[in-house]
Structure 1
């Protein structure tokens, strides 16, 4: 009777030592040792500044507004002059609020390629973007406009 009691007491004391948060025996601490702060992968000179917006897409080819349970999704397709344009966005004007006539305007912006690229076919140059409008904002909107450099497309309610 004494041997099982002593064995159980020894096991309890051993396991309670693992519960210390600073113990290396504690399995919850395994793999949590961090590398020193000098071992980071930041490039010399830091990261380049993020671009917030590029030029307007020359031509907005199509636009569609799809209703969702929590609002609407505005989708647009643009045609840049060459291949390689990227990071397309619909940037809301007027701080993302409709104007006094209920018009919500988006600017279709792209980031140009870093070097000259081929023109190729129109299908290979198309860029698709989308923006979400929640139900609260949608109540005040009567028209949605997507602007490009040469044209703009409108959807009415």
Structure 2
């Protein structure tokens, strides 16, 4: 009877500790909040191996992964068929920020299509060590940018 009471008390104490872990900064799900639309970064169109920035960045997510996080962005180019998409890290970003350019290659033939049919998704992995000093992650396109801040 005494051991079962002690075991039950220990289990209750362990479970009550879960609430603080859920809300702590140690929990990877709390690292970054929802993304928000920001103004396009005023810069010249930078060609990266024949690739140009996507027209609009519509979504940005930072998803926890083993050893770091996956930064996933969705963009909408002006026509269908764009390919070779990549998030290219901007090495001139301010301290505490990670800035990526969402670039892709233009197709030879352009078909308009609906915005949903033109969506392109791209992702990149960032290590935990790199994320430790980061407060803001931004993905830029030619018309807009999206950013998320650490909670």
Instruction: Give the conservation status (yes or no) of the 8 Å contact 1:53–1:109.
Output: no
**SS of aligned partner of 2:52:** coil
- Residue in structure 2 matching 1:119, options 109, 112, 119: 112
Match of 2:104 in 1: 110
**Structure 1-normalised TM-score?**
0.62
Match of 1:93 in 2: 90
C-alpha distance after superposition, 1:5-32 (max 9, x if no partner): xxxxxxxxxxxxxxxxxxxxxxxxxxxx
CA distance in 2, matches of 1:83, 1:118: 5
Would you identify which runs of 4 or more consecutive aligned residues in structure 1 move more than 6 Å?
none
Alpha-carbon distance, 1:121 to partner: 1.0
CA distance in 1, matches of 2:140, 2:110: 24
Q: Which has the higher strand share?
A: 2
Match of 2:148 in 1: 155
Give structure 1 stretches of 5+ with no counterpart.
1-50
1:59 and 2:53 matched: no
TM-align CA RMSD: 1.4
**SS of aligned partner of 2:53:** coil
Number of equivalenced pairs:
103
C-alpha distance after superposition, 1:56-90 (max 9, x if no partner): 00100111000112101000000000001001100
Match of 1:146 in 2: 139
Relative to structure 1, the CA distance from residue 152 to residue 84 in structure 2 (aligned partners, 3 Å threshold; closer, same or farther) is: same
Match of 2:35 in 1: none
**Structure 2-normalised TM-score?**
0.65
User: Which structure is larger by alpha-carbon Rg, 1 or 2?
Assistant: 1
Match of 1:22 in 2: none
